[in-house]
Structure 1
Amino acid sequence: MFGGIFLGLFILNDYSLFSTLDATLSLFISLLSEAWILKTLGFAILVGSVMELLQKSGSIDGFVTFMSQQTSLVKSGRSALLLSYIIGIVIFIESSITSLIAGAVGRPLCDKYKVAHAKLAFVCDSTSAPISSLIILNGWGALLLGLISTQIDLGVIKGSSIDILLNAVVYNFYAMSALVVTFVTIWFDIKIGAMKSATLPLTKTKMITDVDANPFYMLLPIVVMILFVFVFLYLTGDGNILKGSGSSSIFFTMLVTLFFMFLLYVPTKKMKTKTYAWAAFKGAKKLFPIAMILLFAFAIGEVTTELKTGQYLASLATQNLNIYLLAALIFLLSSVISFSTGTSWGTFSIMVPIAVPLAVSMDADVALAIGAVMSGGVFGDHCSPISDTTIISSLASDCEVIEHVQTQLPYALVSGVIALVLFLIFSIL
């Protein structure tokens, strides 16, 4: 990743080595000066603290014992993955939190039933961004509403931004196909490509009988996490959840969760204060390298933006374009940009101002064009090794990032092909 950053800056600085070195230093200083980036990095590190505390307190063992011995909800690897899938569907407010919670709940159960962490990471990743882009009562919807409203203000299109967005969501074919493919994969235990040889958990499958089978020591912190995401979105949005800051919300939510876990574990003698502090520090230390990967991902995204990669690709793709291929081409182009930059939101910001006027000039369906941008942005982000959701899904599932990308890619491509065919069909209808 650093090589890509350096090469991009080398080009931007007219192949001057000294200017590139200076630009590299300035880039990282500027990134670390951005409050939202620092909060996102802090979130990634604090995730490690939460996961380690859940482990050291015995809460995970208690949850596994309760789910596998005292209820009939989870009795196999398939039901363990289905539980994470359902959580990924239900928690749609923020993709990072969705991945984190689905991974936290599913990982101990997958360990018990010898399900590869890569498959759990696939489930977490394949529900987080897709569901967040379909149920738009979140930051995703706010961003898209803003981009559409800008096109209305410029006179490019007419109508209500919310109506246009709701019509576009119907054409978010990749998100829909990804959710269906993921469910089918879980139910029929379909293994294709690298998933066939995915690394299995090292822990031995055994019945745990010497722990307190109380699921609430694990579930209560997760409930607090979900609740306070909404609270902080409301507060940072001055009463409007859609306008709340995602980075601030997830960061402050993790701080509140850690404080709640202290009050939950120490007074009840699940942990001593010293053990709590040491576990929190150890967990943060474990995920510090993940935070650095995120930082490099942000940096390479900045470089590709400065290189105007998206605009260049769009200018090439729109020459001699057939109206029946418009939606499919927008989908493919958005996918390439999102994969290259690792951000679906950045792709939306680049492609909506390009796709909407293009659709209007060709008298094509504007909602279909926006739906293609949404689908392509999620598809490329889903496949990208530098995407924050890819990285967070990996860390939540305790899976190597590269293994997660390699094992997930075949399934994502299947969903992508389905979406591409649907865009071609609906362009003709």
Structure 2
Amino acid sequence: MLLFVGFRHPGEIIAPAFFKEVLYVDYGFLSLVPPVLAIALAVLTKNIIVSLFVAVFVSSVILADWNPFLGLTRMIHDYMFNAVAEDINMQALFMMVVIGGFVALLTKSGGASAFTSAVTRRIDTRAKCETGIWLGGLAIWFTDNGNSLIVGPIFEALAEKLRVSREKFSYILDCTTSPICALIPIIGWGVYTMSLIQPELDKAGITTSTDLSVFMAAIPLNFYAVLTLFMAGLMAVTQWDYGPMLRAQNRAMKAGETIRAGGTPMRAEAQADDLPAGVTPKIYTMVVPLVVLLTVMFSYLTYKGLWHTKVAGSEIRTGVAAGFMVGTIVLIVICVLEKIFSFNRCLSIISGGWANMMFMCVVLVLSWSLSGVSSAMGTAGYLLRVTEGWLNPSILPLLLFLIGAIMSFATGTSWGTMAVLFPIGLPMAISLNVSLPLTSAAIISGGLYGDHCSPISDTTILASIGAASDHIDHFETQMPYGTTCAAISGVLFLVAGWLPSAIMLVLGAVALTATVYVLHKASVRKIGQIRVPGGEAGKNL
């Protein structure tokens, strides 16, 4: 009979509590079933929940001596139930729900759109308009899915007047969705990512680092996210467009055709701030709840000694949850006093936000379960044994970045990609003594790149909707820009494998600027550039 084991460190054997006697079992290549099956199904089915569920179930059947019924019951009892029962995991699920409710009401209340509207003043050139779109996207840092639907409609008329192509419009919107959210620890993105990091630290018995410390240290190493934000601003300010994007910009400037003739604009069925008649959005509707949220959170963490001692992860999560809860209450009061929504309508919107987070909560539980079966089958240990002859620890970040990019491009989900790769990549990094922040950043960056360029990604689709752009045109013009940024990021991850330093980000920004300039000049020589309405480029467009 097969018994299952797991690894905290190479050579160390652990087992679930219900085994009184433990025997070493080497599953060999079967230990690759959890990650390989999850990745393969994610690519084939485009459904991350089905992929994770099947991978966990099949792995549990193997662990149960190929007994399907026993495998099913053990999957539920020993992995899913245990995953949810873990204090840190339950805290993460609670925070996801609280954050979802706050973001839903904040988006619907109109405060975010009023805040973004403020940056449209004194904008009289295309470069200024694109820069305003970029700044507006950065301001809406608390939601990736809602970002494009908030910023897009506000700038639509102005972008049309100043002849910003819909392709460039949607590109900037897309750049300021997930890439910025992936850098913020106190919103759903950060909470989700940290909830994938902490279980691996716990399994490895690491107490010197926490999920928050790893996440924060990974921010300057998250090359694709930071460079994408930088590149979007660079392209807006300098107008150094190239390739298909330059053709689109020339078309818009020459004849005012912001969308290609024959193109089909994507339209949102409802605006993100669908307010009652007569209600004018106010900036303070967003600013006050956010200020209260941050004040409550940091006041609690300061009380717990944030600035002079190590604060427990549970206390950090308590502070974050408390901040969002109080922020939500304040937002409800504002909505009722300003007659934006009734109290019952506020509760309805909040509960809708909770429901929207259920998908990610399910993904989290399945990801934690995948981590459990991978540990039980010794996946990390087997990978170390079969790769010890050729896998240089320094290339692990680059490898994870590339795998993540392929997965997320094929599936259209960065969160699903991270759910699969974190339980595999972090144990390998721990065993190979590779920087955990760098490894985490590589997984996040890979997921972001694929998701950013994937035509089936929700944020890509929403960017097309927000800019009223033809979706395929958005995809085709954004791909070269995203790939340019990814190529620089890949080199940085390779170099950082030997020298994991934040200085790499500065070098990357310089290299990206130079690369963009060269590509721009090459495109201008080939097709020309029109800088004034009705002008000529002197080339066939």
* 2:442 aligns with one of 376, 397, 402: 376
RMSD (CA atoms): 5.3
Q: Secondary structure at the match of 2:389?
A: coil
Aligned to 1:157: none
Match of 1:228 among 296, 321, 324: 296
One-letter identity of the residue aligned with 1:123: T
Q: 1:342 to 1:113 in 2, by over 3 A?
A: same
Cα offset for 1:332? Answer: 0.9
Q: In 1, distance between residues paired with 2:394 and 2:323?
A: 39
Aligned partners of 2:442 and 2:493 also within 8 Å? no
The one of 278, 289, 301 equivalent to 2:345 is 278
Compute the displacement of 1:258 (Å): 1.3
1:294-309 counterparts in 2 under 5 A? 294-308=361-375, 309=379
What residue number does 2:282 align with? Answer: 214
Deviation at 1:261, TM superposition (A): 1.5
Which of 71, 89, 101 is the equivalent residue of 1:49? 101
Amino acid at match of 1:279: C
Shift of 1:278: 2.5
| Aligned mates of 1:299, 1:378 — CA distance in 2 | 18
Gaps of 5+ in 2: 1-47, 157-165, 186-190, 209-214, 246-262, 408-416, 452-456, 500-541
Q: Whole-Å Cα distance in 2 between the matches of residues 37 and 409 of structure 1?
A: 36
The answer to whether the 8 Å contact 2:174/2:460 transfers is yes
The whole-number CA distance in structure 1 between the counterparts of 2:301 and 2:460 is 25
Q: Partner of 1:3 in structure 2? A: 50
Moved more, 251-260 or 232-241: 232-241
> 2:182 matched to 1:129?
yes
Match of 2:74 among 4, 8, 23: 23
Q: Distance in 2 between matches of 1:71 and 1:126?
A: 25
Tell me, yes or no, if the aligned pair for 2:145 and 2:462 is still in contact at 8 Å.
yes
Letter of the 2:345 counterpart? W
Question: What's the CA shift for 1:256?
Answer: 0.9
Match of 2:398? 331
Q: CA deviation at 1:299?
A: 1.0
In 1: Cα distance, 2:299 partner to 2:441 partner: 29
Query: Under a length normalisation based on structure 2, what TM-score does the superposition of the two structures give?
Result: 0.52
Q: 1:19, 1:198 → 2: CA distance?
A: 52
TM-score, L = length of structure 1: 0.63
Give the conservation status (yes or no) of the 8 Å contact 1:111–1:201: no
Matching residue's letter, 1:342: A
What amino acid sits opposite 1:214 in the alignment?
K
**1:48-127 equivalences in 2 (<5 Å):** 48-54=100-106, 57-60=109-112, 62-63=114-115, 66-68=118-120, 76=129, 78-85=131-138, 87=139, 98-100=141-143, 107-114=149-156, 120=173, 122-127=175-180
Aligned to 1:93: none
Q: Tell me: CA distance 1:291–1:234, structure 2 relative to 1, closer, same or farther (3 Å).
A: farther
8 A contact 1:121–1:397 mirrored in 2: yes
Give the direction of change, closer, same or farther, for the CA distance of 1:278–1:421 in structure 2 (3 Å limit).
Answer: same
How many equivalent pairs are there?
A: 368
What is the alpha-carbon distance in structure 1 between the residues aligned to residue 348 and residue 217 of structure 2? 47
State the alpha-carbon separation in 2 of the partners of residues 314 and 337 from structure 1.
Answer: 19
Residues 1:6 and 1:276: Cα distance change in structure 2 (over 3 Å): same
> 1:265 is matched with which residue: 331, 335, 344?
335
| Equivalent residue number for residue 61 of structure 2 | 13
**What secondary structure does 2:339 align onto?**
coil
After superposition, what is the alpha-carbon deviation per residue over 1:367-417, rounded to whole angstroms, capped at 9, x for unaligned? xx66752442322443587xxxxx9989999999xx9xx969876654443
What is the aligned-residue identity percentage?
Answer: 15
Shift of 1:314: 4.3
Contact 1:99 1:125 in 2 (8 A): no
| Aligned residue identity for 1:9 | F
Contact 1:343-1:377 within 8 A present in 2 as well: no
Mapped contact 1:127–1:179 kept (Cα < 8 A): yes
Q: Deviations along 1:308-367, whole A, 9 cap, x unmatched? A: 44444444443235xxx65234431466479655278656742442332xxxxxxxxx7x
Structure 1 alignment gaps of length 5 or more: 89-97, 133-137, 154-164, 357-365, 386-390
Please state how far the C-alpha of 1:201 moved relative to its aligned partner. Answer: 3.6
Cα distance in 2 for partners of 1:373, 1:298 equals: 22
Larger displacement relative to structure 2 (71-80 or 56-65): 71-80
Counterpart residue number, 1:254: 324
**1:219 to 1:355, Cα distance in 2 relative to 1, 3 A:** same
CA contact (8 A) 1:117 1:201 kept: no
Deviation at 1:257, TM superposition (A): 0.9
Name the larger-Rg structure. 2
1:265 and 1:313 mapped to 2: Cα distance? 54
- CA gap of 1:166–1:109, structure 2 versus 1, over 3 A, is closer
State the secondary structure of the residue aligned to 2:366.
Answer: helix
Alignment correspondent of 1:318: 388
Q: Are the structure 2 counterparts of residues 294 and 58 from structure 1 closer, same or farther at C-alpha, using a change threshold of 3 Å? A: same
Go from structure 1 to structure 2 and tell me whether the alpha carbon gap of 1:335 and 1:312 turns closer, same or farther (over 3 Å shift): farther
**In the alignment, what sits opposite 2:419?**
342
Corresponding residue for residue 292 of structure 1: 359
Whole-Å separation in 2 of the counterparts to 1:282 and 1:191? 43
- Which of 473, 483, 491 is matched with 1:421 structurally? 491
Deviation of residue 255 (structure 1)?
1.0
Question: What is the match of residue 158 of structure 1?
Answer: none
1:28-47 CA-partner distances (Å, limit 9, x unpaired): 33333344434433444444
